């Protein structure tokens, strides 16, 4: 599976925004709320990453 620079840049932006959101919420509220938000974002990111990888695998297998 070939991964292009646009996909990598998109992931870097997603991680940056998620990290900034967790830090901002943690500073504005209690650390527990920031940790819970971080956990929710990690779970959402895993689901998104799994779906993205499955789609890429389907694209590669259909090209063969």
pTM, two decimals, is 0.74
How far, in Å, are 5, 6, 40, 46 from residue 32 at the CA level? 35, 34, 12, 21
**Interval 24-59: pLDDT, tens:** 999 999 999 999 999 999 999 899 889 988 998 888
> Rounded CA gap, 19 and 22, in Å?
5
Reported as type and span, the H/E element at residue 24 is helix 5-28
User: Residue 64 has what pLDDT?
Assistant: 64
- Mean pLDDT of all residues in 5-11: 86
Three-state SS at 18 = helix
Domain hosting residue 17, numbered range: 5-63
Structurally, the chain folds into a number of domains equal to 1
Whether 18 and 25 have beta carbons less than 8 Å apart is answered as no
Residue 33 corresponds to which tokens in the numbers above?
A: 């709320």
- Mean pLDDT of all residues in 8-28: 92
Does position 3 have pLDDT exceeding 80, yes or no? no
């Amino acid at each position: 599976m070939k991964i292009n620079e646009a996909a990598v840049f998109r992931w870097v932006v997603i991680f940056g925004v998620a990290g900034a959101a967790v830090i901002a919420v943690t500073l504005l509220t209690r650390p527990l709320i920031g940790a819970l938000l971080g956990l929710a974002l990690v779970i959402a990111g895993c689901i998104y990453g799994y779906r993205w990888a499955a789609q890429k695998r389907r694209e590669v297998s259909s090209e063969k």
